[in-house]
Structure 1
């Protein structure tokens, strides 16, 4: 469980570094989006047959970072609509 949280935080931070521009997201939101991205990446890797959902592999990690970047974009667009 702790490894899943650490991986989610690393994925969230990498996604924020890849996404251009300034994001108005705190550490908790970065962690949550990283966790969501890691679940999506794990599901995708599992569907492709490269490993289990909670198994850390290269394809799952790359998919998780891409999913987290997309989720950050969605979170930014939703927060800009509220203001």
Structure 2
């Protein structure tokens, strides 16, 4: 993967993290930095899952890949919020 691909994956990961956080109802007690990290991880894992199902490289917008990524980001934000609440 080239440096431009890594940078674009990070930017997309930030967007995915924010959208994933918006999908989860209620108030999340995690910071912006954790949201970005969850989004980046969800973007990479969601792309891998979409590639495994052979829906990653289609013409136009890859809606299924985006759904995988946003769903994983929402799960990650909710799980991290649960961990933060239990520690308090």
- The TM-score, its normalising length taken from structure 2, stands at 0.82
Q: Distance in 2 between matches of 1:76 and 1:24?
A: 6
Moved over 4 A (4+): none
Match for residue 28 of structure 1? 33
Tell me if 1:18 matches 2:23.
yes
Q: Distance in 2 between matches of 1:42 and 1:58?
A: 11
Q: Verify the 8 A CA contact 2:9 2:44 in the aligned structure 1.
A: no
Match of 2:71 among 58, 66, 72: 66
Alignment RMSD (CA, Å)? 1.4
Structure index of larger Rg:
2
Structure 1 unaligned residues grouped into runs of 5+? none
Match of 1:42 among 17, 34, 47: 47
